């Protein structure tokens, strides 16, 4: 896990998750806007391909936990579902810790089909955005591609 750019690292198993540069920038901007609190949101799409990014409200007022506003999430889920899509990614930020799922992230990961994106601002000048699948309490990092 020492590569400067996640795209340079080969990560086993899963196909790369295609996340356009513009969306990465949106997530980083959201993380910076909400720091020191954690930000959160989802990306809708089809067949695993990203479509629309939805920044959502973190109900938790602290700096080390997130819970996506349940009513907002449901409204977005309905919109995506009615359009024939699915939630392809769930993102949140780690304002001061690495871009790796915490034990709490793993325990509460209820969406095994989605990619979990974590944006770390631990190095403020170099935000680190990484993608994971969390299935049956197991973490698999997934490479990001443009």
Query: Under the rule (CB under 8 A), what is the footprint of another protein?
Result: 38, 40, 42, 60, 62, 64-68, 70-71, 73-75, 77-78, 81, 86-87, 90, 92, 94, 96-97, 101-102, 104-105, 107-114
Task: Please identify, using beta-carbon distances, which residue of 87 and 144 lies nearer to another protein.
Answer: 87
Q: Report the C-alpha gap between 47 and 141 in whole angstroms.
A: 19
The least CB distance from residue 89 to another protein, in Å, is 11
CB-CB contact of 91 with 114 (8 Å): no
Min. distance of Cβ 90 from another protein in angstroms?
5
Which of these, 7, 72, 82, lies nearest to 46 by C-alpha position? 82
Residue 102 C-beta: closest distance to another protein, Å: 5
Beta carbons of 89 and 116 less than 8 angstroms apart: yes
Instruction: Report the chain's C-alpha Rg in angstroms.
Output: 14
What the block records as the tokens of 128 is 């680190």
The span from the CA of 66 to the CA of 80, in Å, is 22
Bridge pairing between strands 115-120 and 128-135: antiparallel
Q: Least distance to another protein from the beta carbon of 72, Å?
A: 10
Give me the least distance between CB of 55 and another protein, in Å please.
13
Q: Which is nearer to another protein, 49 or 78 (CB)?
A: 78
Give the nearer residue to another protein in terms of CB position, either 9 or 60. 60
Residue 21 or 61: the one with the smaller Cβ distance to another protein is 61
Taking the least distance from each CB to another protein, the nearer of 104 and 138 is: 104
- Asked if 31 and 39 count as a contact pair (C-beta separation under 8 A), the reply is yes
């Amino acid at each position: 896990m020492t590569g400067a750019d996640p795209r340079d690292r080969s990560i086993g198993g899963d196909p790369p998750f295609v996340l356009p540069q513009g969306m990465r920038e949106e997530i980083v901007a959201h993380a910076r806007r909400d720091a020191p609190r954690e930000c959160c949101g989802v990306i809708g799409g089809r067949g695993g391909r990203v479509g629309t990014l939805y920044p959502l409200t973190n109900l938790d007022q602290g700096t080390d936990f997130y819970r996506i506003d349940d009513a907002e999430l449901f409204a977005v889920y309905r919109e995506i579902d009615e359009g024939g899509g699915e939630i392809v990614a769930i993102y949140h930020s780690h304002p001061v810790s690495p871009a790796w799922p915490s034990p709490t992230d793993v325990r509460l990961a209820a969406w095994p089909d989605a990619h979990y994106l974590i944006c770390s601002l631990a190095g403020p000048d170099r935000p680190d955005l990484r993608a994971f699948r969390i299935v049956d309490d197991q973490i698999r990092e997934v490479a990001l591609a443009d």
